Structure 1
Amino acid sequence: MAASFLSIVSYLFGWIYFLCWSFSFYPQTILNWRRKSTSGTTIDFTAINLLGFSAYFVSNASFLFSSQIRREYALRNHGLTPTVQINDLAFAGHAVVITTVTWSQYAFPGAWGFDKRTKREHGARMTSWIKGIIVGSFVGVAITALIVSASHDKDPENGWAWIDVIYAVGYVKVIITLVKYMPQVIVNYRNQSTRGWSILQMQLDFVGGILSVGQLLIDSYLQGDWSGVTGNPVKLALGNFSMFFDIVFMVQHFYLYRKDRKSYGDLENDPLLGDDARRDGRID
């Protein structure tokens, strides 16, 4: 009875976190569109986010549908199956699509009718260290693939195997999740404002992170083996890293820069009110 109940809870957690995380992509895209500008935000975040979710999609798809990867996972984890769920793949696929749309607002502002940003404006150009992380991610996965290809005795339990390439792809997402928020945190600090940065996306992301980690823990408990957690480090790290930075942004928005937020009424952070507020002269 308890196992059945927990299975239902895991299922609900999975799809609710999918909805929270999926909806979290829209407030920033809509806010940019209503403001006709990406000012106050960084191109770094959306560019590296696109790479991260592409890697996450490949990793999830491999664990779900590749018989070889699933076999190698079982050999390393006491015969168990990966704890990746179909909602994980659905979330990753949706994230790639909507992140591509958001990225286009920064890469092709003229096509969206956005105001042109100056090169001196914080966040208007991609920083060199973010470019380095993008290049380094491709290089790291390529090196791992070469090592596996050169291995004559591919022993999934004790040596190199193709699952290590998928883990390398997954770790790209972990690394990106760890660093992708930093440029925006820095821009908010330099501007002493969160203006232009949608706090709603962070609130939805925070709820999604809690439920994502909760589902992972429940699934591992039901399997009776906590290797379900260690065997899915991407999902575990994704939830925890995201929640940490969500808290940082909420502290910036609601505490550190609340005076600046009050100066423009906080209305531009509500995508449903953006146009009306602008027409009324409450935000510029």
Structure 2
Amino acid sequence: MGSHWNSFPLEIIYQIFGWIAFFSWSISFYPQIILNFRRKSVVGLNFDFVVLNLTKHSTYLIYNATLYFSSVVQKQYRDKYGLDEMIPVAANDVAFSIHAVLLTAFTLFQIFIYEGGNQKVSKISLTLVTVAWCAAAVCVFVALPSHSWLWLITVFNTIQVSMTVIKYIPQAFMNFYRKSTEGFSIGNILLDFLGGVTNYGQMATQSIDQGSWVNFYGNIGKTLLSLVSIFFDLLFMVQHYVLYRSKPIHHPSKVEDEANKEALLKSSDLPTSDLP
């Protein structure tokens, strides 16, 4: 038998924090997708960020879904951390991961169909992703004989943490190089920040109720996910609102454009004697 909640109010707070994190993180994908659609362009969105993000969310889904649904892995978790410990993955974690993989894949699809300027995925990112999945495949065969499934999903969790740390760096440097955040949605960052804070609050609520901080180091991936996300979100906010503040570029409407063309044509029809 697993552990249970000692306080009903804390359990409710835990659920509220969890679903706020779920909706914040889930909705955070849409501002970028909508921005890409409206501009019919992905210029300003770093391709490495998206590619690394897809691997990050895919490995996180494998970890969350396995630990949440597999009774065998749950038993291995409690054998390691204590029979009274609660499983540190909630339903909202699994729901978020599924949604994140689908939306990140769709953003990658937008990169293929929309104008991207001279941007491309770097060889470094492709190499990192290839190494990560090859390492995961090797670990699957290592875990098979001894059925070390908890160790195996911990490997996937480690990969997602690594990708979380790495994925923001190309976008941050790209903003710095361009001295602009145009094309990169700040709405995504604000919602991601809210998700990180409430995710951390959810874990803290569970720890307070259980009187144990195993929840944090037993699921170090979720802990680091929140802290790293919050750090980079704050960096992007500083870039957008402080360092690289700029007025939106005015794109003339069709009416204005036609009027300008008509004026240009009229001016070209003037007789030379009327010219100064």
Query: Does residue 99 in structure 1 map to residue 94 in structure 2?
Result: no
- Aligned-partner residue type, residue 45 of structure 1: F
Give the structure 1 partner of residue 127 of structure 2.
132
| C-alpha deviation, 1:173, in angstroms | 1.0
Q: Which residue of 1 aligns with 2:144?
A: 149
Secondary structure of the structure 2 residue equivalent to 1:135: helix
Is contact 1:40-1:196 (8 Å) kept? yes
Q: What fraction of aligned residue pairs are identical, expressed as a percent?
A: 36
Instruction: Verify the 8 A CA contact 2:161 2:221 in the aligned structure 1.
Output: yes
Question: SS of the counterpart of 2:7?
Answer: helix
Q: Which residue of 2 aligns with 1:77?
A: 81
CA–CA distance in structure 2, aligned partners of residues 278 and 35 of structure 1: 14
Partner of 1:257 in structure 2?
244
Letter of the structure 2 residue corresponding to residue 73 of structure 1: Y
* Aligned equivalents of 1:32, 1:221: Cα separation in 2: 42
Per the normalisation by structure 2, the TM-score is 0.85
CA distance in 2, matches of 1:218, 1:59: 22
Q: 1:224 Cα shift? A: 2.3
Aligned-pair CA distance for 1:279: 3.5
The equivalent residue for 1:60 is 64
| Match status 1:196 vs 2:183 | yes
Q: Alpha-carbon deviation of 1:28?
A: 0.4
8 Å contact from structure 2 (residues 17, 198) kept in 1: yes
Shift of 1:150: 4.9
Distance in 1 between the 2:209 and 2:88 partners? Answer: 11
- 2:23 corresponds, among 16, 19, 34, to 19
Distance 1:253 1:25 in 2: 18
Q: Deviations over 1:96-141 (max 9, x none)?
A: 11111111011x21xxxx33x34xx3xx111121112101211222
Counterpart-to-counterpart distance in 2, 1:183 and 1:11:
34
Alpha-carbon shift at residue 216 of structure 1 (Å): 0.8
> What residue number does 1:238 align with?
225
Q: What's the CA shift for 1:89?
A: 0.4
**Structure 1 spans left out of the alignment, 5+ residues:** 155-160, 266-276
Q: Distance in 2 between matches of 1:252 and 1:226?
A: 34
149, 161, 172: which one pairs with 1:162?
149
Show CA shifts across 1:5-55 (max 9, x none). Answer: 211111100001111111100000000110110011111111111111111
Give, in whole Å, the separation in 2 of the partners of 1:83 and 1:55. Answer: 17
Q: Match for residue 248 of structure 1? A: 235
Per-residue deviation at 1:164? 0.7
- TM-aligned CA distance change 1:52 to 1:224, over 3 Å: same
Partner Cα distance (1:226, 1:131) in 2: 37
Larger Rg: 2
Quote the residue 1:272 is aligned against: none
Task: Report the count of equivalent residues.
Answer: 250
Select 1:213's aligned residue among 192, 200, 214: 200
Instruction: In structure 2, list runs of 5 or more residues that go unmatched.
Output: 257-276
Distance 2:11 2:86 in 1: 16
Q: Considering only aligned residues, what root-mean-square deviation do their CA atoms show, in Å?
A: 1.9
| Distance (Å, rounded) in 2 between the aligned partners of 1:172 and 1:249 | 23
Q: Take 1:18 and 1:98, find their aligned partners in 2: how far apart are those partners?
A: 14
After TM superposition, the runs of 4+ consecutive aligned structure 1 residues lying more than 6 A away are none
**Separation (CA, whole Å) in 2 of partners of 1:129 and 1:144:** 22
Please state how far the C-alpha of 1:92 moved relative to its aligned partner.
0.6
Q: Which moved more, 1:207-216 or 1:140-149?
A: 140-149
Name the amino acid aligned to 2:139: T
User: Deviation of residue 221 (structure 1)?
Assistant: 2.1
